[in-house]
């Protein structure tokens, strides 16, 4: 959803504005004005006043994340999302993101999973931003018959982001103290490989 990637045509979401990108009922919101949160800000890196906004509403993609440059290239208005580094020009960035919770507990999702992997850590990165193809090293806990069986290390999980995001189920465990507030997610149909 990064406007710079959209303007370059380098995002798998480039043609999906207004389209379903998450299951119905999912909302993704940004609120840069949360008190006592390190990422909160009244102005973006280009001096524009920030505001709360809905990025995904009911599963539909409502807008890109834009700074002045990417907005100009796309013929749109900036969303006041410019982030500034110490040695680079401003670029689009997000603050204080919340994905709404589901109604099941994480234990319910593990039980419903039957057989699969609870990912506790990831390493490396092989994500093709243009196609959405995804492959990363992972470690975690193997689940058999809806119960944790043993620890797993040095495996690979793979899939396609478009397909993965349309098959997520959210738990009810929203952490309240993070910049990105996302519940535990069950993703069906991913490939898991390893010895």
Output the average pLDDT for the chain: 94
Cα 35 to Cα 20, 40, 41, 95, 194, distances in angstroms: 31, 7, 9, 12, 44
Digit-coded pLDDT (tens) for 55-109: 999 999 999 999 999 999 999 999 999 999 888 899 999 999 999 999 999 999 9
Q: Which of 103, 128, 117 is nearest to 11 (CA)?
A: 128
Label residue 141 left, alpha or beta by phi (over 0 means left) and psi (-120 to 50 means alpha).
Answer: beta
Residues 6+ apart with CB under 8 A from 49: 42, 43, 80
* The two structure tokens encoding residue 99: 């994905």
* pLDDT value for 38: 87
What is residue 60's predicted lDDT score, i.e. its pLDDT?
A: 98
HEC profile of the chain: CEHHHHHHCCCCCCCCCCCECCCCCCCEEECCCCCCCCCCCCECCCCCECCCEEEEECCEECCCECCHHHHHHHCCCCCCCEECCCCCCCEECCCCEEECCCCECHHHHHHHHCCEEEEEEEEEEEECCCCCEEEEEEEEEEEECCEEEEEEEEEEEEEEHHHHHCCEEEECCCCCCCCEECCCEEECCCEEECC
pLDDT under 50 in the chain at which residues? none
């Amino acid at each position: 959803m990064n406007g710079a990637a959209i303007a370059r045509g380098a995002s798998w979401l480039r043609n999906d504005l207004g389209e379903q990108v998450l299951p119905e009922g999912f909302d993704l919101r940004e609120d840069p004005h949360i008190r006592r949160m390190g990422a909160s800000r009244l102005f973006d890196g280009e001096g524009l006043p920030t505001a709360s906004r809905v990025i995904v509403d009911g599963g539909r993609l409502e807008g890109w994340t834009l700074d002045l440059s990417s907005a100009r290239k796309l013929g749109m208005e900036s969303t006041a999302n410019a982030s500034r580094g110490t040695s680079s020009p401003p670029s689009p960035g997000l603050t204080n993101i919340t994905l709404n919770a589901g109604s099941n507990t994480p234990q319910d999702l593990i039980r419903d999973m039957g057989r699969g992997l609870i990912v506790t850590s990831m390493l490396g990165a092989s994500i093709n931003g243009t196609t959405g193809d995804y492959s990363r090293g992972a470690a975690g806990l193997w689940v058999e018959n809806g119960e944790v069986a043993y620890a797993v290390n040095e495996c690979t999980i793979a899939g396609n982001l478009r397909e993965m995001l349309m098959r997520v189920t959210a738990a009810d465990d929203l952490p309240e103290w993070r910049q990105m507030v996302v519940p535990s997610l069950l993703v069906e149909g991913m490939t898991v490989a390893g010895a």
